Structure formats: structure tokens, C-alpha cells
Structure 1
Amino acid sequence: MSYRLLLDENIEYRIVHKLRNYGHDAEHVSDLSTFGKGSTDKELGQYSNSDDRLILTYDDDFVLELDSSAYRAVLYVNDVTIPSRKIADAVHRMSKQYPHDEVTGVVYVDEWI
């Protein structure tokens, strides 16, 4: 199974490429003409809802400040020192256990590593 993902500006492009190689539909915020760097979390949340995308981020604002109704779902990485490869691998493992439609709220990617 694959995920439809929106990767926040703080997510490295290595992760984007690795997830795409795994067959996931991964968009990076910086590549979207309507958003780009500096987009608000609220805007990204609205896009994730309207385009049915899970947000992958290091940004704890999605956990601490936004209500879960503000986005489709968030895959949150708490530890910024985790290598890109391990993050992408963890997300891919998640997709094998939990289909896209079953992912809701905030999921801590760190727990999958």
C-alpha cells in the first residue's frame, strides 16, 4: 500500500526521493506553486484535507497548536537527528501495516524506527 504525502519544508529531499522510490505519492511543500517555503501550518493543513494527504513534518506546531481537524493526519518526527533513510523506511513500514485511509490524528514516526 502507498501513502499520499505532503512533506513539510523542514523535511529533507532525500526522504522525498526514497518515499517515491517506494511507490508513495510524495509532494514537498517547496515544489508546490501555491505554497512553498513559509506557508502557514493552517494552509498546509487545509491542503492536506482537500487533497487527502498525510503531512510528514518535524514541526511540533501540528502537535501542540493545531486541532486534529485542521489537517488530514500528521506523521510527526520528534527527533531531528534520525537519519533520512530511517525516517523514510519507517513511513514505508507504517504503510504496510496501516492503509492510508486508517491513518488519523498524529502518528509518531519515531516509534516506528
Structure 2
Amino acid sequence: MSYRLLVDENVEYRIIHKLRNYGHDVEHVNDLTAFGKGSSDRELGQYSKSDDRLILTYDDDFVLELDPTAYCAALYVSDVTISARTIAAAIHRMSKQYPQEEISGVVYVDHWV
């Protein structure tokens, strides 16, 4: 199984390339004409719901400030020292056990490392 992901501006492109190599459908905020650097979390949340995409982020606003109903679901990485390879592998492992439609709220990717 694969995930449809919307990657926040603070996530490096190496993770995107690795996730795409695993077969996931990945869009980076900076590559979407409607968004880009500085887009609000609410805008990203609305897009994630309308396009059925999980948000991958290091931004704790999705944990602390936004209601989980404001977005499809968030894959949150709290430890910025985890390598791109490890993060991508953890998300791919997750996708093999939980289809996207079973993901909701905030999922801590760190717990899958």
C-alpha cells in the first residue's frame, strides 16, 4: 500500500525522493502553485482534506494548535536529528501495516523508528 502525502515546507527533499522511490504519491508544499513557503497550516489542512493527503511535518503546530479535524491526518516527526532514510523507511513500514484510510489525528513517526 502507498500513502498520498503533502510534505510541509520544513521537510527536506531527500525524504520526498526516498518516499517516491517506495512508491508513495508525494507533493511538497513548495512545488504547489497554490502554496509555497509561509502558507498557513489551516490552508495546508484544508488541502490535505480536499485532496485526501496525509501531512508530513516537523511543525508541532499540527499537534499543539490545530484541531485534528482541520486536516486529513498528520505524520509528525518531533526529532529533527532522525535521518531522511530512517524517516522514509518508518513511513513506508507504517503504510504496509495501516492503510491510509485508517490513519487519523496525529501519528508520531518517531515511534516507528
Does the TM-score normalized on the shorter chain lie above 0.5? yes
Aligned to 2:16: 16
> 2:74 matched to which residue of 1?
74
- TM-score, with length taken from structure 2: 0.99
Deviation (angstroms), 1:93:
0.3
The match for 2:31 is 31
User: Counterparts in 2 of 1:1-113, with a 5 A limit?
Assistant: 1-113=1-113
The alpha-carbon deviation at position 59 of structure 1 amounts to: 0.1
TM-score (norm 1): 0.99
Amino acid of the residue matched to residue 67 of structure 1? D
Q: Distance in 2 between matches of 1:62 and 1:16?
A: 20
Structure 2 segments unaligned to the other structure (5+ residues)? none
Residues 79-98 of structure 1 deviation map (CA, whole Å, 9 limit, x = unaligned): 00101110000000000000
Q: Report how many residues are paired.
A: 113
Partner-residue secondary structure (3-state), 2:19 = helix
- Which secondary structure does the structure 2 equivalent of 1:45 belong to? helix
Which secondary structure does the structure 1 equivalent of 2:6 belong to? strand
Q: CA deviation at 1:31?
A: 0.2
Let me know the Cα RMSD of the aligned residues: 0.4
1:14-39 deviations in whole A, cap 9, x for unaligned? Answer: 00000001000000000000001110
| Runs of 4+ more than 6 Å apart | none
**CA distance, structure 1, for counterparts of residue 84 and residue 21 of structure 2:** 14
Structure 1: distance between partners of 2:14 and 2:101: 25
Q: Please state how far the C-alpha of 1:69 moved relative to its aligned partner.
A: 0.5
Look up the SS of the partner of 1:35 in the other structure: coil
1:12 deviates by: 0.5
How many angstroms does 1:56 deviate by? 0.2
Percent identity among equivalent residues?
77
